[in-house]
Amino acid sequence: MADKSLEVFGIRETLAEIRNVDRDMFFKIRAQMKRGGDTLARRVEGKIPLLAPTRGFRNHTGRTAWKPASAKSVVSGRNPRAGQTSSTPLLQVVVSGVAANIADMAGRGGPKTKRRTTRSYAWQGTRRTHRINGQTEKMMQALGKSPSRYIYPEVEASRPFIQSTVLMGVEEYTNQLNRKFEVIGGK
């Protein structure tokens, strides 16, 4: 979906500590994060057209046929696995629907080629090529705009809201936890 990500350090560790101390509070924080993600998911769903933007998506019933896309938010509390260099997203919005994802990112692949046939490639023990028919250029013209048409603009517009929702949730419940410790420690 998007190449950019927001990394806030310390939240995952804070959540792990809260989970160890107060599981109910941990799940309340996750629910609040999920509500913020669900808001973004509904905005993304609203941007994706209900009717297929091109005839190619409308004229078949296969995997890439246009179906109303749905988005859902997923909150993950997991740390990256051992040996893994990439980070694991804390909050993720996943858009279902192959056609919507194809239409969203069509044309991102780079410069257009002027070739009339593909490069030779291996296929069932032989070498073969096929004619390039111009479908990609036609689809991009029909879709208009540049890639990412639906998803990324909504993510960028919602980024401050999502950041504040996640941070406020953690801060609010961390403050509650600190007050509990003060009461226990003050007795």
CA distances (Å), 82 to each of 26, 37, 38, 107, in order? 24, 27, 30, 36
Cα-trace Rg, the chain: 23
Rounded to an integer, what is the distance from CA 146 to the centroid of its chain? 18
Q: Which secondary-structure segment (H or E) carries 73?
A: strand 71-75
91, two tokens: 């909050």
Taking only the tens place, the pLDDT of each residue in 48-84 is 888 888 887 888 788 888 888 888 888 775 655 666 6
Q: Is the pTM of this model over 0.75?
A: no
Taking only the tens place, the pLDDT of each residue in 100-140 is 888 888 777 755 667 788 889 999 999 999 888 777 777 77
28, two tokens: 């309340």
Which residue is it, tokens 């192959």?
98
